[in-house]
């Protein structure tokens, strides 16, 4: 993974608008969601680093993740966002793709 480039990640997030996507999201022991299928209607990234990303679903709900620091696009075209602390431990993850994630 590489350090988030805000404009690049914003372009990648916005490419999911209008599409059904699968979400994988987790935050250190508090939240874990895998293969939650939604239609994205809005997508944002904000901050100067660490970053916040938000996705709006079907006009009725939001998912917002904070403390994101790194990203990559995997070989299946999925956007993988993660937040690492100063010791290199992952604290949050938000992965978005048009195909389900492996179980």
Return the pLDDT at 31.
Answer: 83
> Model-level pTM greater than 0.85?
yes
pLDDT digits 0-9 by tens, 37-78 = 999 999 999 999 999 999 999 878 999 999 999 999 999 999
CA-to-CA distance for 27 and 23, rounded, in angstroms? 13
Q: Among 2-11, 20-29, 63-72, 78-87, whose mean pLDDT is lowest?
A: 20-29
Domains of the chain: 2-22+32-97 (2.70.180.10)
Instruction: Give the sign of the dihedral formed by CA 2, CA 43, CA 53, CA 21.
Output: negative
């Amino acid at each position: 993974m590489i350090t988030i480039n805000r404009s690049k990640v914003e372009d990648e997030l916005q490419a999911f608008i209008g599409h059904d996507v699968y979400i994988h999201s987790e935050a250190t022991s508090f939240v874990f969601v895998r293969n939650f299928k939604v239609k994205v209607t809005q997508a944002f990234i904000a901050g100067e680093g660490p970053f916040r990303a938000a996705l709006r679903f079907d006009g009725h709900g939001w998912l917002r993740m904070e403390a994101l620091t790194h990203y990559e696009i995997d070989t299946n075209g999925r956007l993988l966002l993660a937040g690492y602390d100063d010791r290199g431990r992952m604290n949050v993850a938000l992965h978005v793709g048009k195909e389900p994630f492996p179980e």
